[in-house]
Amino acid sequence: MTSFRDRVRDAFDEGVPVAIDRGARGHYEKRVQATAAFPQMEQMRDRARRIRADVIAHLDEHLATFAAAVEAHGGTAFFAADAAEANEYIVGLARTEGVSRAVKVKSMVTEEIELNPVLEAAGIEVVETDLGEFIVQLAGEKPSHIIAPVLHKDRYDVAELFAEKLGVEYSDDPSQLNDIARTHLREKFLTAEMGISGVNFAVAEDGSVVLVTNEGNGRLCTTAPRIHVAVMGMERLVRDRHDLAVMLEVLARSATGQGLSAYSNVVSGPRRPAEPDGPDQFHVVIVDNGRSATLGSAVAEILYCIRCGACLNACPVYRHLGGHAYGSVYPGPIGKVITPSLFGLEEWHELPAASSLCGACKEVCPVRIDIPKLLVELRRQSTDEMQPSIRRGLAVFAWLSTKPRLYRLATRVAALFGRMWSRDGWLRRIPFALRGWTGERDLPAPAKQTFSDWWRNRGT
């Protein structure tokens, strides 16, 4: 994969679509309005944080309770240590059951474990049914936002894509594009043998899984096919239905500014004997894939995240870059912590650095995760362990700062060189180790007088 710096440069060179900034801002403003219209919001956020903290602190016990409850309803709970185990289980099930087509609800964890290519390699057709995710799949791309996967596309892109891939007449009217997708996907829903979903919340006390969608594809995927497979990160749990209610109060308001999404769908096992519809089989795949390592680390708080996407919308870096430049399925502020935690800091150490630590993410987080603090912690680890040259450079600076005479001399020399290299008051390029600083921007030339000289002479 290309480096983060290259991807950022590409994003700027190509010009990130205005749609991203507009879309993210739109979601952000809707959240502000929804929060203002709900006087209990701040208290609900406190409660939601408490609920997440309590469940994560005893996660092993709640997982055991949850799995037992799933089985009591006639479902199956499978524990997957990593992506490979999860994918192997699902493909194995599909093979045993003779599944040739699976319909999917948009899910971050199935993106994370890269389930679709594994199913496709086994000859099983996988159809994404969330409108945005369906568009992403047709285009052969990756989602650019946790809850709005095609934030990077406009209606004309979609119109051309549908005309090309689905052989329909060109239309750039969103409502007609919607009808095209509805007709195309309805047939898939009614013929698929397996429905695959993620899980917004899983309720430990009764073994239910909760899917929150606006389109209704979450309900169709868990109703029409005869097998439902729900894939969940192991931290998705809440203790009981009362806690679930609190989490739902903050989720939709934070994500899209809705009081509740159109469908909050609570699924408890397969269809009961007398029920007229619903699947015959219900499987929950509980995925670790780096989460227990994260739990045992200094950034364990990130497991409180409920994937609402509010921090993406609030983040000035995300709004300028878009989701793809991050290079991970989890973009934005939360992704800068989740990605290195799950997939390794060594490979992803640049992500925590790509933040101004402005704190906009922490301000909007429904469970008040201290994202800036976690980013600083990851930066500390990455410089300590992986970038000894930075550590050495800072050590020299620290030593110099404690030697006033030497420090004054050094700053004077640096200022002298700085002025020598500058043109019209600007440093366009600094050589050697510091050249990265002027790669994308100019630096004002140093003043003739250093600050400490000015300070000493200020009274005279």
Between 8 and 151, CB nearer to other proteins: 151
Task: Tell me how far, at minimum, the Cβ of 73 lies from other proteins, in Å.
Answer: 7
Task: By CB under 8 A, tell whether 111 contacts other proteins.
Answer: no
> Rounded distance, CA 154 to CA 180, Å?
16
Task: Tell me how far, at minimum, the Cβ of 339 lies from other proteins, in Å.
Answer: 19
Task: Tell me how far, at minimum, the Cβ of 112 lies from other proteins, in Å.
Answer: 17
Task: By CB under 8 A, tell whether 268 contacts other proteins.
Answer: yes
Between 112 and 215, CB nearer to other proteins: 215
Task: Tell me how far, at minimum, the Cβ of 129 lies from other proteins, in Å.
Answer: 7
Between 79 and 417, CB nearer to other proteins: 79
3-state helix, strand, coil in the chain (%, to 5): 55, 10, 35
Task: Tell me how far, at minimum, the Cβ of 365 lies from other proteins, in Å.
Answer: 13
Which region among 94-102, 146-154, 351-359, 422-430 touches other proteins (by CB under 8 A)? 146-154
Task: By CB under 8 A, tell whether 186 contacts other proteins.
Answer: yes
Pick from 125, 263, 418, 443: which binds other proteins (CB under 8 A)?
A: 263
- β-pair partners for 202: 209, 237
Task: Tell me how far, at minimum, the Cβ of 121 lies from other proteins, in Å.
Answer: 23
> Rounded distance, CA 13 to CA 17, Å?
11
Assign residue 285 a region: left if phi > 0, alpha if psi is -120 to 50, beta otherwise? Answer: beta
Task: Tell me how far, at minimum, the Cβ of 209 lies from other proteins, in Å.
Answer: 11
Question: How many Cα atoms sit within 13 Å of 368 on the Cβ side?
Answer: 12
For every residue of 146-192, DSSP letters joined together read: SS-TTTT--HHHHHHHHHHHH-PPP---HHHHHHHHHHHHHHHHHH-
Count of residues interacting with other proteins (CB under 8 A) = 100
Between 180 and 357, CB nearer to other proteins: 180
Contacts of 57 (CB under 8 A, 6+ apart): none
Alpha carbon 310 to chain centroid distance? Answer: 10
> Rounded distance, CA 205 to CA 106, Å?
25
Task: By CB under 8 A, tell whether 223 contacts other proteins.
Answer: yes
Contact 127/102 with Cβ under 8 angstroms? yes
Task: By CB under 8 A, tell whether 292 contacts other proteins.
Answer: yes
Task: By CB under 8 A, tell whether 165 contacts other proteins.
Answer: no
> Rounded distance, CA 244 to CA 234, Å?
16
Task: By CB under 8 A, tell whether 214 contacts other proteins.
Answer: yes
Provide the 10 A C-beta neighbour count for residue 453.
15
Task: By CB under 8 A, tell whether 421 contacts other proteins.
Answer: no
CA quadruple 330, 332, 333, 336: dihedral sign: positive
Task: Tell me how far, at minimum, the Cβ of 197 lies from other proteins, in Å.
Answer: 13
Contact 336/149 with Cβ under 8 angstroms? no
Q: What residues numbered 36-75 form the site for other proteins, per CB under 8 A?
A: 40, 43-44, 46-47, 49-50, 53-54, 56-60, 63-64, 67, 73
The DSSP bridge pattern shows strands 201-203 and 101-104 to be unpaired
Task: By CB under 8 A, tell whether 343 contacts other proteins.
Answer: no
What does the per-residue mask of binding to other proteins show for 308-327, with x meaning CB under 8 A?
--------------------
Between 38 and 407, CB nearer to other proteins: 38
